[in-house]
Structure 1
Amino acid sequence: MPWKSVSLGLVVAASLLAGCSSNPESSSTEPSASAPVAEAGHTRCDAAAAQFAVGQPASAALLAQAKSKAGAQEARFIGPNDMVTLEYRSDRVNLNTDAGGKVTRVNCG
C-alpha cells in the first residue's frame, strides 16, 4: 500500500517537472530587425521614428503621420486629464499633449 502512494507521488512530481522544462531550440528564434512582430501578427511601434511630432499641435494629419512613421497599427492622443486603460499594446503609438494641444511626448503602448 505505501508503495502505491510513493510511486503515484513520483509520477506526479515527474510530470510537474516535465511541464516546466523548455526546449532551447524553439526559444532561440530572433525577430527580424526590419519589422518586429508582436503577438497576433501585429507590427511593433517604433516611438523614435515618430519623435518629429513633439512640439507640434495635435491634428488628425499629425496622428496619421506618426502612426505611419512608427509602423503602428493604432494611434491616439492622450491629453493631460484623459483617463486611459493600463493595457500595454506594442502596436499602438501614443502622442501625449499638454493643455494647449501641443504634443509633449511620444511613446508606444
Structure 2
Amino acid sequence: MFPMRASLVSLLAAVILVGCSSGGTASKAPEVAAAPNQDGRCEASGAAFAVGKPASAELLEQARKASGAQLARVLKPDDAVTLEYRSERLNLHADEKGVIARVNCG
C-alpha cells in the first residue's frame, strides 16, 4: 500500500511541476519594434531624451524601449530602492517635482 501511495504522490508532484513550467504554447503579448540591442541589457544613453520631461507611464515605456531594457522604473527622491544591480533595468530618477533629472541602468 505504501509504495503505491508514494508512486501516486510522486506522479501528482510531477504533474503539478509540469503545469507550472512555462511552455512555448502559451500566447504572448505581441512584440514591439526591435530595440537597439537584442540581448535585453540596458543602454542608458538611448533614454537620455527623457531628462527634463515630466515622469509618466508613457515616457517610462518610451525610454525603456529606446534603451533596450527589459524593465524600467521611475525613482523619486524618497523612494526605497534595492541595492542589487540589474543590467536589464532602466532607472529614471525624478526630482521633487516629478521631472526626470537623470537616467541610468541598474
TM-score normalised over the length of structure 1: 0.62
**CA RMSD of the aligned region, Å?**
1.2
- SS state at 2:91 partner: strand
- SS state at 2:61 partner: helix
> Residues of 1 paired with 2:71 and 2:38: CA distance?
15
Name the structure 1 match of 2:83: 86
Counterpart check, 1:63 vs 2:65: no
Give the number of aligned pairs: 71
Q: Give unmatched runs, 5+ long, in structure 1.
A: 1-33, 38-42
**Residue among 42, 48, 51 paired with 1:51:** 48
Q: CA deviation at 1:88?
A: 0.4
After superposition, the C-alpha distances for 1:82-106 in whole angstroms (9 at most, x for unaligned) are: 1100010000000000000000000
In the TM superposition, structure 1's runs of 4+ consecutive aligned residues that sit over 2 Å from their partners are 34-37
TM-score normalised over the length of structure 2: 0.64
* Residues 48 and 60 of structure 1: CA distance in aligned 2, closer, same or farther (over 3 Å): same
> Residues of 1 paired with 2:61 and 2:38: CA distance?
20
What percentage of aligned pairs have identical amino acids? Answer: 56
> Residues of 2 paired with 1:58 and 1:44: CA distance?
22
